[in-house]
Each structure stands twice: as structure tokens, then as C-alpha cells.
Amino acid sequence: MKMDQLVSLCKRRGYLFQSSEIYGGLNGFWDYGPLGVELKRNVKEAWWRDMITAHDDLDTQPGAPGAYEMVGLDSTIIMHPQIWKCSGHYDLFHDYMVDCRESKKRYRHDQLRGRWVTAKGKTIFVTTQAEDEQDDIQRHALKFFNLRNKNAEQLQWDGDVVSLTSVDDLTQVLGPDAKELGTLTDPREFNLMFKTIVGALGNDDDAAFLRPETAQGIFVNFKNILDSTRVRVPFGIAQIGKSFRNEITPRNFTFRSREFEQMEIEFFCHPDSSREWYQYWRDRRFQWYLDLGLDRERLQLRDHDPDELSHYSTGTGDIEYAFPFLPAGEYGELEGVAHRGDFDLRSHMEGKLDPSTDPLEVELNEHGQPKWRGSGKDLTYRDDLSGEKYTPHVIEPSAGADRATLAFLCEAFTEDEAPDEKGKLQTRTVLRLHPRLAPIKAAIFPLVKKDGMPELAKQIYRALKPHFNVFYDEKGAVGRRYRRQDEAGTPYCITVDGQTVEDNTVTIRDRDSLEQSRVRLEDCVDEMRQKLT
């Protein structure tokens, strides 16, 4: 599948629109249309239900070291600025970027990729941002050296395509949109948090930040939840909500946006069993994507190398998907599952911990006090049965609702052949979404707009609507109505035809197999319930 096919289907059928489109759009922001909003809601609802409301608190789940409880939370987007100082985001949450003096464009340092090449006695590093990396690099190099395509053999390549971060001397680098060498500046830090001012008379001292992750809202409510519920460690707190990151190069459709939604769990457990819980959550979350239809072949669980780990983490595994916009063999992160130790609770108790040295050491200012003061509140846990007091360890499965939605869309997009009304095979575009995720569960059609068929079809529609999101359509040829529903990912179409009037049965067409079965009109609701739940 080509990504632009999916992008155009999403626009055409009302899944996704560029934000502020009539004003020329705003880079890194996306709106979900009538079908998109249902799909994304279904993704979030599946997550909430599977992780929280339908979770069995009493029994040990397969693969888990014991039973555990799950509760939810909805915290604010703007929180006390000190939270971001103690979490490390204020000091550490940045990307490096380079500017091009010639094109005036800005790029993320680690995302520019290029290759060394020599021609006409000169060696340079040619960079690209294009998906077809090697082809683009070659085109760019030929232009730079003033060579024609037929002289491409004069380019002597050295090594593979690698990140710009491997290059020390930027004077030898040809920027992706530059004609001259050495126009890229040295990398500069750029904090990814959006800043705002709280209060009408506020000045810079009243600066606050839009949260770059939902997780911190959970940590700072840890004590509230312990005190107001009867949860005992091990337990998890879950939250779904918007997060904001001023990404330098938002791209790949919704994959890297500046406003997006996260689905995060902070799971609190005893330090002694934290490794087992970490294993459990990696596997549990991986399986969730498989259960909702992602193909095992395109999904991978990649453990971070020790040098890739965040300062506080003793283990992180990324659940990654082979998105079609990535080069073959490359995967993009859907979710990170991290073992965060007691870093977060301790930071919010004591102040910001110094990650560059011992993660357990508090970073001090020139007066010997913690650089960023914590809340000073006791965020330890006391086990009422054993009497033991400790700071729980945290396992964090952190997923992106938009990235998951995009992966399900990519996986679902299929082109196959189906017979039209005259029995002739035609290419059809179909979104094979899992029925739990499909925006519309069934479409109801009268074959023609007469002979009592619309009345019967509306009767079915009204019987189903309180239970499922169903859609009624009587306009145009029935074949075309089927195609529209295939593109919308609707798993079933129910059609009232001439036979219905005679024997009170309707056809149910299956989106994927194209098989049609007849059921009695009054069994429609039960039949759909069976198929969809």
C-alpha cells in the first residue's frame, strides 16, 4: 500500500483532515472527521475497557506474577510548573536541531540522514529527508557535482546511509535543500514543551507548560488515589488525554504531531517483583495490538540497548510497527514500556534527581540544596499487612492513541477484487478494520426505494441504533452503497430486498468474505450482537 492512497482515502471519507485547512493548514496538527473520531474513540475505548473496566482485579492474569487492581484518572493539561522541573522535562526534554543558512529550513539533527560520496576529487556528505533516501541522495549529489544521470558511476559511495549525528565536521555536509556545502549550523537545543502564561496579568514568572505527557499527572496524584480508594500495591493508574510537544519536524501524517493523545498506565509494584511485572506488561501490551488486528509480521517488540535507555530506566521495550511510510525493514514506535524504578515518586518527594551521575543522587544548587525542590510530601507506600514501608517501583506502558489509530488504518487498508452488479470483477478498496474498531458496525439498505422496502429497512435501523452505531442509506445503486461502506470499514451490510417482503428475511453481507447470508428480520439484533461482541 502506498501511503498517499491512505491519506487520500482518509480525506475523501472523512477520517482525517489537516487542521485549519481553509487557512492553509497548520503543520503538525490534525482533525478527525466523522469516521475518524469514531475510530479513535473505539481505539481509546478498547484500551480503557481492556486495561481498566473489564480488568479482573481478583484473579491472576496469565503471565502475571499475581493479581492486581486498575483505576483511572483524568488530570489537567496545565499543572504546577515545578512538576516539569522535578520530572526532568524542563532541563532535559529537548531535541537538537540544525538550521540551514541557505534554505532557512530547520531540521532535527538525528533525523537528517545522508551518505559520504566522492566525485571530481571532492568528498562530501549528502543529506536527505525524503522517503526514497538513496535515490534522493543520488539525485542531490549528481546536481551538486553537475553530473548527468548517465555519469552516475562517477559517484564513489562510501559506507551506508547514516544519521547526520555521525558527522563531526558540518562544513563537508550538503543540506537537503541546499546547493552549497556547509550551510547547516551546529546543532542547538530546543525544548519541546509549549509554554503559556497563566492569569490575565501574568508575566514570565507565571509561565506554565502544556503537558508533554500524561504520566506526571498520575505520579502527582499517587497519594490522593491511595488515600481515597482501597487500592493496594500492586496496582495501576491509567489515563487517556491530550499531550503537546513542539516537535521540530512533525511528519508522516499523524505519526509525529504537535498535539496528540496518549494512553498511559503507571503500574506501581514492589521493587522485588518489578522485573517480572515489567515482563508481564511488555507481553500484555504487545498481545493487545495483535488481538485488535495488527499483523505479527509487521509488529515487533524491541528491547532498548543499554546505551539507549533513559537515565532512570533499567529496561525499556518499544512496541513497533512497520508503517508503510518507513523504508523497508524499519519500524516506528507505537508504545514504549519502561521500567522506571522509583525515579518519579522520589523526584516528586525530594526534588530533581541528577540523571547524569547517580540517578539516586539529588542535583544540588550552589547553596547545597536540591536544585528543583520536590513537593516534600511523603510518597512512599506502607503495606498494611506486612507493615513494610517502601517507595514502589513503576512500570510504564505508554501508548499513543493517534499512532495506534494510524497503525490500525494502515493495516486495514486493502485493495482486492469484487464482482460488481453485472458480475464483472472490479478493484475495490476496503478497510478491514477489526469490528470493535470499525466506526460504523452495520449499514442498512433497502434494495430499492419502493415496495415497502425503505419502511422495513428503517425498522431494522431503529431496532439496532440504540445498541450499535449503524447507518441507513437508500441513495444510489446498491453496489455503490456497498463500496462506500467497504471504504468506511463497515463490517456488515444488511439489505432489505424483494424476498424480505415475501418471507421476512434480509441478507447480511460480510465485508471481508463478501458472503451473504439470510436471517429473519426479527433476529437481526441478536445476530449483530453475536457477530460484534
Smallest CA-to-CA distance from 248 within 413, 95, 394 is with 95
Provide the 3-class DSSP secondary structure of residue 426: strand
Residue 351, Cβ density class (10 Å: 0-12 exposed, 13-18 middle, ≥19 buried): buried
Q: Which residues, 184 to 243, sit near ligand ATP by CB under 6 A? A: 213
Please tell me whether residue 260 binds ligand ATP under the rule CB under 6 A. Answer: yes
Q: DSSP code of 200?
A: T
Closest residue to ligand ATP: CB criterion: 400
Contact in structure between 111 and 96 (CB atoms under 8 Å): no
Does residue 187 have a cis peptide bond before it, meaning omega lies within 30 degrees of 0? no
Show the binding pattern over residues 400-439: x = contacts ligand ATP (CB under 6 A), - = does not.
Answer: x-xx------------------------------------
Please tell me whether residue 331 binds ligand ATP under the rule CB under 6 A. Answer: no
Give the residue ranges of DSSP H helices in 178-299: 215-219, 222-228, 274-291
Total residues contacting ligand ATP by CB under 6 A comes to 16
Per the listing, cell 498506565 goes with 265
Q: DSSP code of 180?
A: S
Query: What is d(CA 68, CA 282) in angstroms, rounded to the nearest whole number?
Result: 16
**Closest distance of CB 530 from ligand ATP, Å:** 34
The residue range among 56-64, 177-185, 393-401, 505-513 that interacts with ligand ATP, by the rule CB under 6 A, is 393-401
Name the residue nearer to ligand ATP (CB basis): 322 or 447.
Answer: 322
Please tell me whether residue 91 binds ligand ATP under the rule CB under 6 A. Answer: no
Provide the 3-class DSSP secondary structure of residue 130: coil
Q: Which residues, 112 to 131, sit near ligand ATP by CB under 6 A? A: none
Name the residue nearer to ligand ATP (CB basis): 308 or 388.
Answer: 308
Please tell me whether residue 340 binds ligand ATP under the rule CB under 6 A. Answer: no
Please tell me whether residue 87 binds ligand ATP under the rule CB under 6 A. Answer: no
Of 35, 345, 349, 399, the one binding ligand ATP by CB under 6 A: 399
DSSP 360-425: TSBPB-TTSSBSSB-------EE-TTT--EEPPEEEEEEEEHHHHHHHHHHHHEEEEEEE-TTS-E
Name the residue nearer to ligand ATP (CB basis): 29 or 145.
Answer: 29
Phi, psi of 266 (to 5 degrees): -110, 120
Please tell me whether residue 285 binds ligand ATP under the rule CB under 6 A. Answer: no
Name the residue nearer to ligand ATP (CB basis): 396 or 497.
Answer: 396
Of 334, 395, 438, 508, the one binding ligand ATP by CB under 6 A: 334
Exposure string (b/e) for 229-250, b if CB count within 10 Å is 16 or more?
eebebbbbbbbbbebbbbbbbb
Phi, psi of 272 (to 5 degrees): -70, -25
Please tell me whether residue 245 binds ligand ATP under the rule CB under 6 A. Answer: yes
Name the residue nearer to ligand ATP (CB basis): 335 or 497.
Answer: 335
Q: Which residues, 43 to 82, sit near ligand ATP by CB under 6 A? A: none
Helices 34-48 and 401-412, axial angle in degrees (round to 10):
110
Of 241, 336, 359, 392, the one binding ligand ATP by CB under 6 A: 336
Of 138, 274, 347, 398, the one binding ligand ATP by CB under 6 A: 398
Of 45, 333, 354, 474, the one binding ligand ATP by CB under 6 A: 333
Q: How many CB atoms lie within 10 A of CB 65?
A: 17
The residue range among 397-405, 429-437, 459-467, 494-502 that interacts with ligand ATP, by the rule CB under 6 A, is 397-405
What residues make contact with ligand ATP under the rule CB under 6 A? 213, 245, 247, 256-257, 260, 262, 333-336, 398-400, 402-403
